[in-house]
Amino acid sequence: MIDLDTTIQEPPLAASEVEMALFALDRSRAQFAWKCGGLDATGLRRPFPPSTMTLGGLLKHMAFIEDYYTSRDLTGGAASGSWRRADFDADPDYCWNSAAADSPDDLYALWRDAVERHRTALAKMLATGGLDQPTTYVTADGRSPNLRRLLVDLHDEYARHVGHADLMREAVDGLVGEDPPQ
């Protein structure tokens, strides 16, 4: 079983904007890891009607989101990981639907590795400037969002799905709470 990091590193009381943005994102990642972690295939594949959403699908979806933002906004290259355009062309809900065929270890590794790729690429960009610098993404009209916008968008994605994972995990095995035990 692959362990997911649920450690929450508190920032200094007088933290900078960058430190607070990274803390908020990493705290949400730790909460997500706690709510999705340590489950077997049955727990990860359990749907919650009327939705077909599963914790495994959430893991795969968030791995894709991490890699998508890394490639689009931070590196400007092709998507990292094992994502193929043909899979999404064949099934727009590819992440959600294909997760049922993945082992827990594969899903946990996919998400963990995507988070690490994002952290590495973000640290590299932040080493050259602050949150005001533009990302590598350019809109059709030639504008680029800044790193602040990227972090807020990614944090918002986690905020939505940590809530889902919280309710699903409670239904799977009764795990409740806001933050993982430290």
Quote the pLDDT of residue 70.
94
Q: What is the pLDDT of residues 13-47, one digit of tens each?
A: 999 999 999 999 999 999 999 999 999 999 999 99
Give how far Cα 68 sits from Cα of 41, 64, 115, 140, 173, Å: 25, 6, 11, 18, 31
pTM of structure: 0.95
Do the domain assignments include residue 141?
yes
Whether residue 7 lies inside any domain: the answer is no
The domain in which residue 123 lies consists of 17-39+53-173
User: At residue 148, what is the residue type?
Assistant: R
Predicted confidence (pLDDT) per residue in 163-175, tens digit: 999 999 999 999 9
47-75: per-residue pLDDT in tens?
999 999 999 999 999 999 999 999 999 99
Number of compact structural domains in the chain: 1
Whether 31 maps to a domain, the answer reads yes
Residue 146 lies in a domain: yes
Give the pLDDT score at 85.
85
Longest dimension (CA), the chain: 49
pLDDT at 81: 66
Q: In this structure, is residue 181 part of a structural domain? A: no
Does residue 136 register a pLDDT over 90? yes
CATH code, domain carrying 28: 1.20.120.450
Segment 138-162 mean pLDDT: 96
Q: What is d(CA 37, CA 59) in angstroms, rounded to the nearest whole number?
A: 9
How many residues appear in the chain? 182
Tokens found for residue 153: 């968008």
Rg of the chain taking only CA atoms, in angstroms: 17
Q: Compute how many other C-beta atoms are within 10 angstroms of the C-beta atom of residue 116.
A: 13
In a domain, 124, yes or no: yes
pLDDT, tens digit, 9 for 90 and up, residues 76-134: 877 776 788 889 889 999 999 999 999 999 999 999 999 999 999 999 999 999 999 99
Residues 6+ apart with CB under 8 A from 13: none
The answer to whether residue 111 is domain-embedded is yes
Q: Is residue 112 part of a domain?
A: yes
